Each structure stands twice: as C-alpha cells, then as structure tokens.
C-alpha cells in the first residue's frame, strides 16, 4: 500500500514535504498483482516445470510469458520500497520494524503452515513422489528431519524478500541524513535521459554476469542475481519515493521508454524462438531482457503518473486492501483448481478461462470472508479492526 505520508524531517527537499497519496502507484501495484495471477495461469500451460501443469501445454507460452516476465517483479519491489519510504518518513526505525513485522509476520507464518503445504501435497501427488493423504503429508512435512532441510515457501518467497529488504533499509530510516544525501546523489545522477540509460546499463551488467553464472533461486541465502536487481529496485523506490523531479522525468520519458520496450520485447521473442538465441554466452539475449525490463518499468510508471493520479476512489481503496490477501490465496487456489479441473479434459481455451475466473473469484471471495472476521484478519495481512470507543457517560 502507498499511504498518505506524514511530513519528512527537516532537511528534506520542499517537494517531499507535501502530504501525498500516490494513487498512481496504488493502481500500478493492483495491476501488477492482477498480472501475476495471469502469469501463473500461463505457467500451467508452459513447458516449464511448475508446481502443476495442464494436460495442454504450449511451447509458445514461453513467448507469451515474456510480456511481463522481465519487469513485473522488479516493478513490485520498486513500489514496495516506495511504500516503505512513505510510511517511514518521520518515524523511528523501531516503530517501522514493529509495524512491518505485524503486517508481514503472521501472513508468512500462516502461509507456510497452512497455504503452501496444500500446494506442496498436490505437487507431490501429481509428480508421483507421494501417495498418501494431506494429513499424512503435513505430518511428514513438519517432521523434525524434514524441517531441518527447510520448508517450501513457494510464492511466499516474495514476502520473505520484502521483509529482508525492509530490515536492510532500516539504517536509512534510523539516519535520515544519510538517506537524504543518498537521495540527493541519486536524483542528480538520474536526471533526464540518464534515468532511462543508467539503471538499464546496471541491469544489463548484472543479468549478463550474475544471472548467466548463478541463475535465480528465490532462496534468500543464495540468490545473488535476484538481490542485485530486486534489492536495488527496492532501495531505488525507498530513496526516491518523494522526489517529484524523478517522477516527472518518468512521465517525460514515457513514450521513448515505450518504444524501447516494444522493440526489445519483439527482439526477446525472436531470440526465444531462434536457435541461435543463446549464442555469445547469452550476452545479446540477457542484454535485451534487461533493457526491456527497465524500459517497461519507466513506461508504466510514466504513463501511470500521467493518467492515474487523482483522488482515491472506493474501487481503488477496495482493491488496494484486497491485494495482499488475494496474493496469499491465489496460488493455492490455482493449484487446487488445476488438480480438480484437469480430469474433465476441457478444451484448452475453456479450461484456461475457467482457471482465470476461479482464481480471481475465489481469491476475492477469500478476502471478502476474512476481512469480516477480526480474529483472522492479521493472518491475511489486514490490519486489526479499530475498537469502538466506549460511550462517554457524561454525554448521556
């Protein structure tokens, strides 16, 4: 969430002292999480080894997934960093950490103990490594020997990374003077065309180097490439959240960035289908991927700033509150839906549309249920309901 922020400490630039509601970033966040559901449905039909797959698979799904694969998660990390920048302004590090722990800790624990095991059980059954029931699987999964090897977190790796990056940003919260100096330097370094060129160059280097040699693991301890791009995006958002000059530059560069993004996407698709796409140590392919990654982010943020700023609507408020619970629920819902629908052997288009509809509908239904039950709201990333104040006897 990108909330209304309190005024910053003395010394921050005047533009950062206004109380703002970044509805453009709220809309982008909602849209990116919606695309995440479509992306995961796409993985069901892809040749990749995902948790569960349909009987219908299409090699062309590799190219379809490239529409959002390069930039979606990096954009979400950037927005998450910006959200932390807003909520931490004028607050101490301990206060921010307590608030983040209360927001992220219960859903992470609940997800690992309840939501992910359902996915893992179905995957184990589907791939033939387990033939027992869910309760037997839970006993196996949480046995001391199994837990010593680590528990699967599946899609909740994103929550773990956000929590870790929040801790990493705490020195900047504790020392706002340091954050201000870094923000000043970054603002100066990224003026004009440099906002499009320099981050893209950085992402090209880490993609061609770290990704080529290490890949991506989504394991916090051993994921150098992912940290190089995702932590950088998170800190970028955190440091520049209140720099209107930077966001204005995003807006000015939206059309050039869109042209670059469209061109590099076309090149990425061609490289994916061409037998020589991995030549020269994959430097051309990885360079195109990273350039598409940043150009798409610049274009999205630029057009959002141009067209999506404005007062917060009831719809946006609803969707903003629903995003986190829907994120927690959606992958379990999708895996179960594939497991139940697949024996019907529906035609691929009908099955795909059914999975999209079921995943969105059940995820939103889950939100509608849990938001009404105070006891479980924190488990789904929702704030506790405010207690009504007792009546003042003197007013009777």
**For 349-368, how does the pLDDT look when each residue is reduced to its tens digit (9 = 90+)?**
999 999 999 999 999 999 99
Question: Is residue 206 over pLDDT 70?
Answer: yes
User: CA dist 67 to 13, 35, 222, Å?
Assistant: 37, 10, 27
User: CA dist 358 to 127, 234, 250, 258, 329, Å?
Assistant: 23, 32, 36, 32, 12
Given pLDDT bands bounded at 50, 70 and 90, which one contains residue 287? very high
Q: How confident is the model over 175-192, as pLDDT tens digits? A: 999 999 999 999 999 999
DSSP 8-state class, residue 114: I
Closest by CA position to 328, among listed 123, 157, 107:
107
Cα Rg of the chain (Å, integer): 22
Q: How confident is the model over 50-79, as pLDDT tens digits? A: 999 999 999 999 999 999 999 999 999 999
Cα distance between residue 202 and residue 290, in whole Å: 9
Cα distance between residue 129 and residue 125, in whole Å: 6
Q: How confident is the model over 79-126, as pLDDT tens digits? A: 999 999 999 988 999 999 999 999 999 999 999 999 999 999 999 999
Closest by CA position to 3, among listed 31, 34, 29:
29
Instruction: Give pLDDT, residue 151.
Output: 84
Whole-prediction pTM? 0.92
Given pLDDT bands bounded at 50, 70 and 90, which one contains residue 274? confident
Cα distance between residue 382 and residue 367, in whole Å: 10
Any idea which residue has 């995440």 for tokens?
A: 36
Q: How confident is the model over 318-327, as pLDDT tens digits? A: 999 999 999 9
Instruction: Give pLDDT, residue 153.
Output: 95
Given pLDDT bands bounded at 50, 70 and 90, which one contains residue 275? confident
Q: Please, what is the average pLDDT of the chain?
A: 92
Instruction: Give pLDDT, residue 387.
Output: 59
Question: Is residue 49 over pLDDT 50?
Answer: yes
Q: How many CB atoms lie within 10 A of CB 305?
A: 21
Cα distance between residue 147 and residue 126, in whole Å: 22
């Amino acid at each position: 969430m990108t909330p209304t922020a309190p005024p910053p400490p003395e010394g921050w630039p005047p533009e950062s002292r206004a109380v703002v509601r970044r509805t453009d970033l709220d809309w982008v966040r909602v849209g990116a999480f919606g695309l995440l559901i479509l992306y995961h449905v796409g993985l069901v039909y892809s040749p990749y080894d995902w948790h569960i797959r349909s009987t219908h698979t299409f090699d062309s799904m590799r190219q379809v997934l490239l529409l959002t694969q390069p930039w979606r998660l990096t954009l979400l990390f950037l927005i998450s960093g910006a959200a932390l920048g807003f909520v931490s302004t004028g607050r101490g590090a301990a206060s921010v950490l307590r608030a983040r722990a209360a927001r992220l800790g219960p859903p992470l624990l609940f997800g690992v103990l309840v939501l992910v095991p359902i996915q893992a059980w179905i995957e184990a059954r589907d791939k033939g490594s387990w033939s027992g029931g869910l309760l037997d699987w839970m006993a196996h999964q949480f046995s001391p020997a199994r837990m010593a090897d680590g528990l699967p977190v599946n899609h909740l790796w994103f929550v773990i990374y956000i929590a870790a990056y929040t801790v990493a940003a705490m020195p900047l919260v504790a020392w706002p003077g340091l954050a201000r100096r870094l923000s000043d330097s970054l603002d100066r370094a990224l003026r004009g065309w440099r906002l499009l060129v320099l981050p893209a160059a950085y992402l090209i280097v880490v993609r061609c180097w770290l990704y080529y040699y290490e890949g991506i693991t989504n394991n916090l301890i051993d994921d150098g490439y992912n940290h190089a791009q995702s932590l950088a995006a998170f800190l970028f958002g955190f440091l520049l959240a209140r720099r209107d000059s930077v966001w204005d530059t995003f807006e000015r560069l939206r059309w050039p960035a869109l042209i670059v993004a469209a061109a590099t996407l076309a090149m990425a698709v061609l490289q994916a289908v061409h037998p020589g796409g991995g030549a020269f140590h994959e430097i051309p392919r990885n360079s195109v991927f990273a350039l598409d990654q940043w150009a798409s982010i610049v274009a999205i943020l630029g057009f959002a700033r141009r067209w999506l700023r404005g007062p917060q609507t009831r719809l946006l408020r609803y969707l903003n509150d629903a995003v986190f619970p829907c994120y927690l629920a959606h992958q379990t819902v999708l895996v179960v839906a594939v497991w139940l629908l697949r024996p019907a052997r529906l035609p691929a288009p009908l099955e795909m549309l059914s999975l999209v509809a079921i995943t969105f509908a059940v995820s939103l239904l889950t939100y509608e249920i849990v938001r009404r039950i105070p006891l479980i709201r924190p488990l789904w990333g929702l704030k506790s309901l405010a207690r009504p104040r007792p009546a003042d006897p003197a007013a009777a």
